[in-house]
Amino acid sequence: MLKQLQIRNWALAENLSIEFQPNLNILTGETGAGKSILVGAIAAVLGGRAYTEVIRTGFEKAQVEAIYDISKLPKLRMFLDERGLEAGEELVIRREISQKSSSRAFVNDSAVTVATLAEIGNFLMDIHGQHEHQSLLRKETHRQFLDALGQLAPDLQTVETKYLHVREAEKKLKSLQSRQKELNEKRELYEFQFNEIRKSNLVPGEEEALEDERRLLSNVEKLNELSAQLSDLFSGENVNLLDGVGQAENHLAELSRYATELQRLFEEFKSARIVLDETARSIEEFQNKLEFDPQRLEEVESRLDLISKLKKKYGNSIQEILDYQKELEDALNLQGNFELEIRKLEKEYQQAVSEYCNAAQHLSEKRTTIAAVMEKRVAEQLTVLGMTAMRFQVSISKTPDKNGLFREKEQHFFADEFGVDQIEFFISPNPGEEFKPLMKIASGGEMSRIMLALKTILAETDEIPSLIFDEIDTGVSGRVAQSVGRSIANLAKSHQILCITHLPQIAAQGNSHFSVEKFVSDGRTYTQILPLDESGKVEAVARLIAGNTITDTVIESARQLIAEGRQN
């Protein structure tokens, strides 16, 4: 529900603040007083078009701020939460139009796009009177109206669930078919790669061992020289380290017999001598097996070269190459299982399609039944609203599509999560004229009254809490005007309505009444919107009855109209 609206520097409105009531809010005023300013400002704050031309002369920026009570709109609050927008019981929307930059939009002080603003607006209000703001101009709204009247939400949910099952089954099937196609296209390559790796007989850790061996074979001469020098140090003619160490050990053993504190040192020295002996033997053994083998070096180089080439092609290490070999083996082994698995998934897909088509057909049949009910009830309401010549039709059709999901009598039709039906409202404004799309031929006033008829029959199920009716009284007078007024008043029992009218029969029905006035001060023109008390309301209705010639009789007629309105 729209609680408060603030308008600054918007056309003739320099600084307006209006507080609206929950039920029927009537706005009246002379032509040109600025009623369209109000509608345009509300449309802008709900994501509608806004041009710099609306900025009041002499100012750099125009601003509209609307405060909504959304405590009873759980779907909107969920929508806001999903987008990280704070969602309490109140929603503050602000739209700014600047001379120097593009427009900006804010929701609870968080910047949002105008597109997001429009999405939020779809939850809050329906504006009727200016074509670009009417939900009846969106065919998806026609479907929503029909489904709401038939209370088809559970059936629609079933169709949506079945549709998602179809898409999931289709995704699995296409994925496997894609893998099969890829394998078929690359089978020869995969077989070549697998055999190349398999024939190489790679062993984890092999590369490191070969590199060690290559270093050894490539440096045999240097290693021989170093080994010989070490051997000379240990047991050479000029220097015999082992003999010297042996003599030192004997002396230390003798000392330790007299000085027990040297016993531990002797044991450590003896262990060191053993290590030296083992080192000398190891060096000798190493030197004895050193032999330059050019053939073996060539074999090692060749093997390392092979490993290097395989690494460039298949992985950064032998383990990665072997892992890739396993992947190739698994892929090649799958070939025999593909057909079996694909046939299984095809059956699952066809089963999902069949279940979807059954659900969509069931929903379509229900829609066809409820369409006849809607046509009858809308016709009744249009008669009440003075549109006796107009005929209303709900068109339910299917769109042929060779790739469509829904199949009927060997023909395929487009289908989605909403079913197979293309739903659109048609009207015939006058006798003898063929039915044509509502959104192409209906005038603003006709559109408003058709919406009023639809909203009336859907009052209990409609989720949009607020409506604006502008031009709804076009071509209406007398008893029909009274009927229109009563219909609006009845609708206002379950909705907040802002109604701009020139008819006293409609204005008299209001719970709240606002006067839109234009005045000049210091050479500048201003628009103001004033809430009226009881006497002001009587005077405003009287002015609608008789213009500026207000007599006691006119005042009494106004009071009588208002009293009749309160009896509804």
User: Tens digit of pLDDT per residue, the chain (568 long)?
Assistant: 999 999 999 989 889 999 999 999 999 988 777 788 888 899 999 988 888 888 998 898 999 999 999 999 999 999 999 888 888 899 999 999 998 877 899 999 899 999 999 999 989 988 876 444 466 778 888 998 899 899 999 999 999 999 999 999 999 999 988 888 887 888 888 889 999 999 999 999 898 888 887 777 766 667 666 766 666 666 656 656 666 666 666 766 777 777 777 778 777 777 777 777 777 777 666 666 666 677 877 888 889 999 999 999 999 999 999 999 999 888 788 766 788 889 999 999 999 999 999 999 999 999 999 999 999 999 998 888 888 889 999 999 999 999 999 988 889 999 999 999 999 999 998 888 899 998 888 777 677 788 888 888 887 677 789 988 886 776 677 788 888 888 889 889 989 999 999 899 999 999 999 999 998 998 899 899 999 999 999 999 999 998 888 889 999 999 998 898 887 6
Are 112 and 218 part of one and the same domain?
no
Q: Which of 334, 368, 388 is the last residue of a domain?
A: 334
Helices (H), 83-219: 114-124, 139-149, 153-200, 206-218
Q: Say whether 147 sits in a helix, a strand or coil.
A: helix
The whole-number pLDDT of residue 131 equals 45
- Is 414 inside any structural domain? no
Q: Which of 334, 353, 379 is the last residue of a domain?
A: 334
Calculate the alpha carbon distances from 471 to 354, 396, 499 in Å: 48, 30, 9
User: Is residue 363 within 8 Å of 419, Cβ to Cβ?
Assistant: yes
The whole-number pLDDT of residue 477 equals 75
d(CA 469, CA 385) in angstroms, rounded, equals 14
The whole-number pLDDT of residue 223 equals 67
Edge-to-edge strand ranges of the sheet holding 2-10 = 13-19, 2-10, 61-69, 90-98, 104-107, 110-112
- Is 494 inside any structural domain? yes
- Which residues make beta-bridge pairs with 412? 407
d(CA 1, CA 512) in angstroms, rounded, equals 15
Sequential DSSP letters for 56-113: PTT-SEEEEEEEEE-TT-HHHHHHHHHTT---SSEEEEEEEEESSS--EEEETTEEE-
The whole-number pLDDT of residue 410 equals 85
Are 187 and 125 part of one and the same domain?
no
- Is 339 inside any structural domain? no
- Is 377 inside any structural domain? no
Are 226 and 301 part of one and the same domain?
yes
- Is 491 inside any structural domain? yes
Q: Which of 282, 299, 334 is the last residue of a domain?
A: 334
Buried (b) or exposed (e) across 345-376, using 16+ Cβ within 10 A?
Answer: beebbeebbebbbebbeebbebbeebbeebee
d(CA 445, CA 274) in angstroms, rounded, equals 114
Are 91 and 201 part of one and the same domain?
no
The whole-number pLDDT of residue 338 equals 81
- Is 536 inside any structural domain? yes
- Is 79 inside any structural domain? yes
Q: State the total domains in the chain.
A: 2
User: Is residue 532 within 8 Å of 525, Cβ to Cβ?
Assistant: no
Reduced to 3 DSSP states, what percent helix, strand and coil does the chain have, rounded to the nearest 5?
Answer: 60, 20, 25
The whole-number pLDDT of residue 233 equals 63
Residue of 14, 113, 114 lying closest to 55 (CA atoms): 14
H or E segment at 463? none
Q: Exposed/middle/buried for 264, CB within 10 Å: 0-12, 13-18, 19+?
A: exposed
Are 484 and 544 part of one and the same domain?
yes
Are 190 and 303 part of one and the same domain?
yes
Write out the residue range of the structural domain in which residue 249 sits. 179-334
Tens of pLDDT, residues 294-320: 787 788 888 999 999 999 999 999 999
Are 116 and 184 part of one and the same domain?
no
CA 254 vs. chain centroid, Å, equals 93
Calculate the alpha carbon distances from 565 to 132, 449, 488, 493, 504 in Å: 32, 19, 11, 13, 11
Are 122 and 188 part of one and the same domain?
no
- Is 66 inside any structural domain? yes
d(CA 481, CA 501) in angstroms, rounded, equals 11
Are 196 and 279 part of one and the same domain?
yes
Residue of 355, 407, 414, 408 lying closest to 166 (CA atoms): 355
The whole-number pLDDT of residue 130 equals 47
Are 108 and 196 part of one and the same domain?
no
Are 122 and 219 part of one and the same domain?
no
Phi, psi of 121 (to 5 degrees): -60, -30
The whole-number pLDDT of residue 162 equals 97
Are 78 and 193 part of one and the same domain?
no
The residue whose two tokens read 């829609």 is 367
User: Is residue 509 within 8 Å of 486, Cβ to Cβ?
Assistant: yes
E-only strand ranges, 289-447: 391-397, 406-408, 411-413, 422-428, 436-437
d(CA 300, CA 294) in angstroms, rounded, equals 10
Calculate the alpha carbon distances from 340 to 125, 153, 335, 350 in Å: 55, 39, 10, 16
- Which residues make beta-bridge pairs with 526? 519
Does the predicted TM-score (pTM) go above 0.75? no
The whole-number pLDDT of residue 133 equals 44
The whole-number pLDDT of residue 36 equals 83
